[in-house]
Structure 1
Amino acid sequence: MADSSVSFLLDKLTWLLQEEVNLQRGVREDVQYIKDELERHKSILMLADSLEDKDPELKVWVKRVRDIAQDMEDAIDEYYLRLVDHQQGKIKSSYHKIVFGIKTMKARRKIASNIQGIKSKVEVISHRRPIIPSSSSQRLSSRLDSQGDALLLEEADLVGIEHPKKQLCDLLFKDESNRAVISIYGMGGLGKTTIAKQVYDDPKVKKRFRIHAWVNLSQSFKMEELLKDLVEQIHILIGKPVPEAVERMKSDKLKELIKDLLQRSRYLIVLDDVWHVNVWDAVKLALPNNDRGSRVMLTTRKKDIALYSCAELGKDFHLEFLPEQEAWSLFCRKTFQGNNNSCPPHLEEVCRNILKLCGGLPLAIVAISGALATKGRSNIEEWQIVCRSFGSEIEGNDKLEDMKKVLSLSFNELPYHLKSCLLYLSVFPEFHAIEHMRLIRLWVAEGFVNGEDGKTLEEVADRYLKELLNRSLLQVVEKTSDGRMKTCRMHDLLREIVNFKSRDQNFATVAKEQDMVWPERVRRLSVINSSHNVLKQNKTIFKLRSLLMFAISDSVNHFSIHELCSSTGVKLLNVLDLQDAPLEDFPLEIINLYLLKHLSLKNTKVKNIPSSIKKLQYLETLDLKHTCVMELPFEIAELKRLRHLLVYRYKIESYAHFHSKNGFKVAAPIGNMQSLQKLCFVDVDQGSGALMVELGRLTQLRKLGIRKMRKEDGAALCSSIEKMINLRSLSITAIEEDEVIDIHDISNPPRYLQQLYLSGRLEKFPQWINSCKNLVRVFLKWSRLEEDPLVYLQGLPNLRHLEFLQVYVGEMLHFNAKGFPSLKVLGLDDLAGLKCMIIEEGAMKGLKKLVMQRCGSFKNVPLGIEHLTKLKTIEFFDMPDELIMALRPNVGADYWRVQNVPTVYSTYWRDDGWDVYSLETFGERESAKRTRELPTLWKV
């Protein structure tokens, strides 16, 4: 990624030239020269990712550019570090300026010397700048733009093809006169082109659509050539020669001609491998809606193209990965063709492990099977080597080259900033589910995210992440109950390819094996399992910008961050992520990392943060979640750039305990930290009046969590909340279970508020909540309201998850028709007085999960529950026997109300554990002795 290295450097060079930096004579001109030359080289670097594998000379030149860019960045950062070191005291007078100038003389001489040396290297690479003919890039693009799925997969390779093929045929034959679009999308290698071709070649399809044409697209296609190809195919079908004038026609005329040719016939046009929305926008103008039941079928790797193309009238069809059994069947058929398609027993374990690495991707299974089919079946060691060294097997096996090309195509097509973001995922361990917000904060700290007007860097990074998901380069592992992504990961095979590119371009180094081959220099280092192999390394140049640790198995006595910091070059670190490391004390070496932007000590046993934390003036994220920190020093308020301050831990298992979470105390003027976007969870019981006013100065807050609130502080908090115009998430917990949360006086609530969590007494329902139309989550606990809270909530148009715990003391809850139009999850817990629930037809029409627990008076089945046609799961925990008996399959009086719900569970607390019973097999124990944690989704 030389182009991204250069782009990051250009930003720093711009700073060096624009800021009033006291450089020595001639240095500014040298910096300008370097900047201008690197700008000239960017056009080549943009093509280099695709070309350097085929051009060894270019690859060497690109490496030199990358090294020079990194050397220059080091020179600037080391100079900047010296400035920061000397600026720890403020420059207040001309005398101080003179002293500062003398102190930094050595630093200015050093950077002058470094820049002169770098300028000489830039002059050399500029004279040797390679020339890349435009035809070269076009030839490469055409090679890469092969329809990989179609070339490498046959119908026999797609196990279970009949079902999706029938679904697509049904859509083609659907009795609708309008032109409809069917978009097939998914990751490269799933067989999109193959299945589309099978449908297209079906004799019944050909018979139904007199005019049918298949158009192969590529990233480098020309619109006029595409349209001419379509004209030619149509003329062949209608038996007429192609007019000579077609060769001279421009796009507009060609579209008019095609539209005229298709106007009077039912047609099927397939657009294979669409990469850009504007392709569909251009082509669709030539495809008339002739009210004859015409169809357009489109394949793409991008979800947004699929949804966009069929938005008016059509259907998006997401091709899924093969289930385990179907994947095994395909693997055995392709690997053991001479053995009745069955795997020898002694190879089954290793083969299933290899298959797991294919992740249900048909292209990968077929390609790996072809490579394994030539191996001897008596020597299990050969097969185990393939399993252990899967990544190197992909790179070194010619039989897997085509598969690699198909999977690499999506990466090569990415813009450089998204390439950097995707390559960064190589620092995470295999099979690691990556937290959504952790990844975003890391991208921002690394400098991968470009600023956009009106958006925070985190919002831009979130868009980057969604774009990678949209391009089928990432997969969602876990979602929150309101539909947001919680964790994600790469497909295993794509991960191997990304890992190879990361190593090849020296983007990041992963240290997890004792005998690993180290590169000459390391800038981003991921340490997995143990830090010992890093400490032994003395031949590599460490000038680290990022140090991340995962699953460190070292004991507290053997893990030494001091030794690690002193033996490696860490003084220029921007990112230090020590999550889960065996730490009990805050490492004081961190205080000297003046350029640090991201510091995570999450899940460590650190107890105290020193007052010297104030030296980290560039810190943007301080993640102390699930540590033992309970108080922050006064000096924390001096971190003016801090954007994310996360300090809390859960201290007992059950969410239903009022004091289930610890926050932190702070006596500092927290209002000075005006860059804060996330602040949670701060204890406000000490100095609460002044602290509530201070919160009102934090107008950039997106997430606020406060604990131990007193009733008398309600008015001040309401005033502050009104000033938080960017607030998305608000969590308030009273000082005790019976303490009233007085937050009624909010006349202008945050318009973007999406999540609201209130724990404590409510004398009346805060009616301003009814005006928060963007709310997607509302959790209320210990409110003890006498009025039905549903009256104020069921009109919220976007509410997806609602949880009540001791919220209502009344006997009846009434869900009105058309109420809760978007609700997916409803949880009702410990509503002791509740006896009746009425659900009118049309209420909660999208509800998928209903959880009721510990409602001792609720003995009758909810009236109208049969109207919830989308309901997938009902869970009852410690509910009266009368209710459960009424729902017994076939014999219960109200079984008919829930007979179409796929899963209905009843759970009871027995002998210090939860016993779970399925009502479908009433009386049979499903699982025994679960944890004491109540099974619900209360954690914020």
Structure 2
Amino acid sequence: MAELKHLSAIIVGVKIMFDVALVSQLRGAQCHVLRFVPTKFKNKMSFRMHVRKFKVQGTITTNKLNGRITALTTQSSSWSQYIANYRALRNFASKLSDLRSRIVEVSERNRRYHLDIADQAIYNNINLMSVLGNTLSRSTEGATDDWANELDVPNDNINEPKVVALVGMYGSGSTHVREIYKHQQTIKRFDSYLWITLSQDVNATKIFMDMMKQLSGDSSSQPEYTGEDELAHGIQGKLKRKQFLLVFDDLWTTQAWHSIKRALPQDIKKGSLVIVTTEIVHVAKDCTESVDHIYWVQQIPKRKSFNRLKEYILVSGNSKMTREDKEDFEDLELESLEVPEPPFNTIEQVLRKCSGLELAIQALGQLLASKPPQRWGKLCDDLPSLLYNNHPMLKDIRKVMIQRYNNLPPYLKPCFLYLSIFPENFDIKVETVVDRWLTEGLVRDRTGMCHRAVAQEYLAELFDRSMIVFSKLRKNRSCKTCWIHPMMRDILVMISQEEKVSTTIGPRKSCSLLVKRLRHVTLDGQSERKLARCVDLSGIRSLTVFNEPSESIAALICSSQLRALRVLDVSNARGFQITQKDIRSVGELRHLRYLNLYRSNICELPSSIGMLPFLQLLNVRKTLITKLPREVTQLSRIQSLRASRRTEDFCHNRRNRCCCDSGVTVPKGIENLQDIEWLDIVEIKDNHGSKIEALGKLASLKHLGLTALQWRTAKKTNLQESHIMSLERLPCLVMLALLDNSYISERLIFYAKAFRELKTLEIFRVPKLKTVIFTEEAVPQLRSLAIRYCTLRLKGENNLKLRYVHLEGGVKIGITEKMNAL
């Protein structure tokens, strides 16, 4: 029996390595096949079917292997079953050997034909997130925007035109600029006006010829010369010593910018302006002299969206509205949508679907106008299908969004497609996205970088391409949550089902799927049919819960068909609570890698938690747990362990009650978790010295949160200055949080060469601490300092290179002037 279990464990490990390699190689090769096939063949049904078979080959193979692994590793009370499984291992081993040879063959073929995919970041030498933060602080909302003031601010360099870039998703920058452009043409402020619409494949010669025609004022005339250099010189001659307004609309690459900017003259009249619209932040950065000349185009506000939607519906030439309906619709006000009444009760839903995107407002306005108001509700329900199946009135917006998706590099497509599991208009936590990408194996190896850093670069590149946008920022301007446009999500959902990736089960959602075997399933409310009748449970790798499903979570976990599950996330469950009963059998999910029970009503983890050998992330924050079981120390692969208990207590000002996080007690043996990188919140009280010493042995630890919430006790058993020295030796620690009486000495000194990698320090509610001293060369990487609800003095501040400082309470410091500058 022991030999069988040992051999099965070895095969599981080997299989994990093989399935990642196989899927990566097959998908990579498929992407390159598509690049070299002429467009006219891509639309042929036979070719599309062949590509689809090629694409899912890796997924089918891994599903079969997972089924075999589950059968081999499932415990059985019958010795005959053990013997049968043991005999099956020989056949299984031969299949693995054949699989390995296929992987090597595909890999060699990729190298032979130079098909290896380079997944390095497309932007260089800029801090993208910094650029994004600066850009968001200069956003636009209409024709009277701050960016329009650039028309009145001449360039410091009198010999060159000023270049301003507008960044927005799905062509929203074009709409804003066009209003300004038309207004400037009306007042005739500039000597020359040029509007150049670009494409993804820029032909500099054609662009220069278009510019010459606009400058000559005759669109039918042909330039005297057709050479690229000659045309560029001709344009410079016509714009020389003139004040002009030039718009390059929809720029895709920096290479295109460098090829077309050659036509810009050097000797111009003061006040000339070049406006570039793009969806890519690093392209905008390359066009401008400074990030101060980059502006983010926000989505149209709700009231303005409502008025534009009404306008598009009313002026449509094929309106199906009756005279009475049209009169009622003209009188409709935005405030009346709060209590919707038929037949216009779907307008609020349409506005959410548009989410302030001009292209979406125009398309849906024309679509609604083509049907009587009584059918608008059905139209909204069918919108995802109509959009994906290229309805004539939605073809423009579909073309734009599909083009943006297809233009993603191969390593980003599965990551972006994975976001379809989240509901419409949902604020997606960036931290959750990164953790789940890592757990699902969607992040590739990159030389010299850890997987988390690579995942964060993937996320940054999606921001860079305006595929996702910020929805909430932290106080230090870093991104907390992100958002996908609802119509782009609709396309992702349809692609996910077609590619057998994911689906959502809920009211009127995917209850009768043509494809039953999908890897990722989202439960978003009550369904008329049981989950087992909608999808094949044995193929599910991740299960995410948002609204209470038809079946209990406990029944799903106990299901013998769900044994291959890797991700269980109930952190966003709304309208119901996960209880102790629901997770009683969680130890049966032997392949689980991600378990998120955030804000659930559990009071303890079952002892079977130690039977999850592959678990990488465990989140039990804001639960009722007070201590972790000793079986947690058996989770040798755990990388993130986040635990805290909800407690109602008075806030620092003692005026209001609030929900605070208290720490949990960790068991002895915590030092066994050598792969752990994130550990919070650990309660330090009894035997605190041995615990701190154990924490000091966690060589991979990067984030550590300590607390000792003892408002009603006078025991001095908390962290002291001598214990900090045990943590100084942690080579990877980048974040340290001292919370709620966790430190009881009056002085805290950071000595030279201590905490070499520490970047973030937080000190909250530590009343006994009176002085914090930073000696020379201490914490050289510290960039963020937050001290709240403490009365203390800060010394040695000149030794710090801080970028973010947040202080609350009676903190006396000597860096007031420096902080004001920050």
> Which of the five TM-score ranges fits, normalised by the shorter chain?
0.7 to 0.9
Q: Offset of 1:485 from its aligned partner?
A: 1.4
User: Are 1:766 and 2:780 matched, yes or no?
Assistant: no
Within 2, Cα distance between the matches of 1:469 and 1:762? 41
Match of 1:722 in 2: 728
Distance 2:522 2:38 in 1: 23
Distance 2:489 2:454 in 1: 24
Alignment partner of 1:109 out of 54, 79, 91: 91
The amino acid of 1:106's aligned partner reads: A
Structure 2 residue matching 1:681: 3-state secondary structure:
strand
> Hey, what does 2:267 align to over in structure 1?
290
Q: Is the alpha carbon distance of 1:762 and 1:116 closer, same or farther for their aligned partners in structure 2, counting shifts above 3 Å?
A: closer
- Within 5 Å, give how 1:254-333 maps onto structure 2: 265-290=242-267, 292-293=269-270, 294-312=272-290, 315-333=293-311
Equivalent residue letter for 1:179: P
Counterpart check, 1:433 vs 2:399: no
Whether the aligned pair in 1 keeps the contact of 2:496 and 2:502 (CA below 8 Å) is yes
Residue 130 of structure 1 is matched in structure 2 by: none
Q: CA separation of 1:302/1:764 partners in 2, compared to 1, >3 Å: closer, same or farther?
A: same
Taking structure 1 as reference, are residues 206 and 603 closer, same or farther at Cα in structure 2, changes over 3 Å only? same
Q: 2:586 aligns with which of 582, 586, 590?
A: 590
Q: Is the partner of 1:349 in helix, strand or coil?
A: coil
- The residue that corresponds to 2:199 in the other structure is 218
CA contact 2:401–2:488 (8 Å) conserved in 1: yes
Within-5 A mapping of 1:8-27: 15-16=17-18
In the other structure, the counterpart of 2:49 is 60
Cα offset for 1:470?
2.4
Change (3 A) 1:763 1:471: same
CA contact (8 A) 2:720 2:745 kept: no
Which residue of 2 is the match for residue 527 of structure 1?
523
In structure 2, the residue corresponding to 1:190 is in which secondary structure?
Answer: helix
CA contact 1:529–1:551 (8 Å) conserved in 2: yes
Q: CA RMSD in A?
A: 4.3
Aligned residues of 2:524 and 2:547 also touching (Cα < 8 A): yes
- The reply to whether residue 613 of structure 1 matches residue 609 of structure 2 is yes
Aligned-partner Cα distance in 1 for 2:24–2:421: 30
SS of residue in 2 equivalent to 1:452: coil
For 1:195 and 1:636, locate their aligned partners in 2 and report how far apart those are by CA, in whole Å.
57
Larger deviation, residues 383-392 vs 173-182: 173-182
Distance 1:160 1:705 in 2: 41
| Corresponding residue of 1:182 | 164
- 1:349 aligns with one of 345, 349, 352: 345
Decide whether the 8 Å contact of 1:770 with 1:792 is kept in 2: no
- Structure with bigger gyration radius: 1
1:642 aligns with 2:638: yes
Structure 2 residue 523 is matched with structure 1 residue 517: no
* Aligned-partner Cα distance in 1 for 2:236–2:16: 52
Shift of 1:298: 0.8
1:628 corresponding residue in structure 2: 624
The C-alpha deviation readout for 1:158-197, integer Å capped at 9, x for no partner, is x996425992672577787242111122011425157348
For 1:147, the equivalent position in structure 2 comes to: none
* Closer, same or farther: CA 348–783 of 1 in aligned 2, 3 Å: same
1:9-65 CA-partner distances (Å, limit 9, x unpaired): xx988944999xxxxxxxxxxx9xx99887754423568999998433233223322
Deviation of 1:331 (Å): 1.4
Using a 3 Å threshold, how does the CA distance of structure 1 residues 318 and 806 change in structure 2: closer, same or farther? closer
Per-residue CA deviation, residues 499-548 of structure 1 (Å, 9 max, x unaligned), is 22222322201101267222231211111124773445177464111111
TM-score, structure 1 length as denominator?
Answer: 0.68
Distance apart, 1:594 and its partner CA? 2.8
Are 1:272 and 1:299, in contact at CA under 8 Å, matched by a contact in 2? yes
Assess, with a 3 A threshold, how the Cα gap between structure 1 residues 661 and 753 changes in structure 2: closer, same or farther: same
CA gap of 1:745–1:279, structure 2 versus 1, over 3 A, is same
- Bigger CA drift: 345-354 or 752-761? 345-354
Alpha-carbon distance change, 688 to 102 in structure 1, aligned in 2, over 3 angstroms: farther
For residues 769 and 802 of structure 1, the distance between their equivalents in structure 2, rounded to whole angstroms, comes to: 22
1:480 corresponds to 2:481: no
Tell me, yes or no, if structure 1 residue 574 matches structure 2 residue 555: no
Q: CA deviation at 1:111?
A: 6.3
Residue 720 to residue 70, structure 1, CA distance change in 2 (3 Å):
same
The residue type equivalent to 2:385 in the other structure is S
Deviations 1:354-404 (A, max 9, x none): 223211112111111111112234xx3x12222344323434532122122
Please say if residues 544 and 573 of structure 1, whose CA atoms lie closer than 8 Å, have aligned partners that are also in contact: yes
Q: Secondary structure at the match of 2:648?
A: coil
Q: Which has the higher contact order (CA 8 A, sep 6+)?
A: 2
Task: Tell me by how many angstroms 1:648 deviates.
Answer: 0.6
2:754 aligned with 1:754, yes or no? no
Matched, 1:740 2:745: yes
Partners of 2:702 and 2:392 in 1: CA distance: 51
Determine the C-alpha separation between the residues in 2 that align with 1:434 and 1:227: 43
Q: 1:48 to 1:769 in 2, by over 3 A?
A: farther
Amino acid at match of 2:416: L
1:188/1:301 contact within 8 Å kept: yes
Distance change (3 Å), C-alpha of 1:741 and 1:729 = farther
SS at match of 1:321: coil
* Letter matched to residue 278 of structure 1: Q
Please state whether the residue corresponding to 1:407 is helix, strand or coil: helix
C-alpha spacing 1:703/1:301, structure 2 compared with 1 (3 Å): same
What residue identity is the alignment partner of 2:564? L
Displacement of 1:313 in angstroms is: 8.5
Going from structure 1 to structure 2, the CA distance change for 1:60 and 1:111 (only over 3 Å counts) comes to farther
| C-alpha contact 1:778 1:802 (8 A) present in aligned 2 | yes
Cα distance per residue 1:632-671 (max 9 Å; x no partner): 2333233232111000133115442799432222233322
| Equivalent in the alignment of 1:887 | none
> Does the Cα contact within 8 Å between 2:702 and 2:732 map onto a contact in 1?
yes
Is 2:284–2:294's contact at 8 Å kept on the other side of the alignment? yes
CA distance in 1, matches of 2:220, 2:44: 47
8 Å Cα contact 1:468-1:474 kept in structure 2: yes
* Counterpart AA for 2:588: N
**Residues in 2 aligned to 1:167 and 1:424: alpha-carbon distance in whole angstroms:** 38
Q: Does 1:195 align with 2:188?
A: no
- Contact persistence 2:557–2:589 (CA under 8 A): no
2: CA distance between counterparts of 1:510 and 1:234? Answer: 54
Distance 1:37 1:496 in 2: 27
After TM superposition, give the deviation of residue 259 of structure 1 in Å: 5.8
Alpha carbons of structure 1 residues 654 and 598: separation in structure 2 relative to 1, 3 Å: same
- 8 Å contact from structure 2 (residues 578, 602) kept in 1: no
2:54 partner amino acid:
V
Structure 2 spans left out of the alignment, 5+ residues: 1-12, 76-81, 106-139, 316-322, 333-340, 710-715
**TM-score when scaled to structure 2?**
0.77
**Alpha-carbon shift at residue 756 of structure 1 (Å):** 1.7
Residues in 2 aligned to 1:371 and 1:553: alpha-carbon distance in whole angstroms: 33
Unaligned 5+ residue runs, structure 1? 1-10, 20-30, 87-99, 124-158, 823-940
How far apart in 2 are the matches of 1:815 and 1:530?
57
1:417 Cα deviation from its structure 2 partner: 2.5
Distance 1:346 1:38, change over 3 A: closer
Give 2:452's aligned residue.
458
How far has the Cα of 1:571 moved from its partner? 2.2
Quick check: 1:302–1:470 contact (8 Å CA) kept in 2? yes
- Partner Cα separation in structure 2 for residue 66 and residue 506 of structure 1: 10
Q: Quote the Cα distance in structure 2 between the aligned partners of 1:40 and 1:455.
A: 24
Map 1:145-184 onto structure 2 (within 5 A): 162-164=143-145, 167=148, 170-171=151-152, 177=158, 178-184=160-166
CA separation of 1:717 and 1:400: change in aligned 2, threshold 3 A: same
Matched residue type, 1:570: L
AA partner of residue 290 (structure 1): D
Aligned identity (percent) is 20
Distance change (3 Å), C-alpha of 1:548 and 1:678 = same
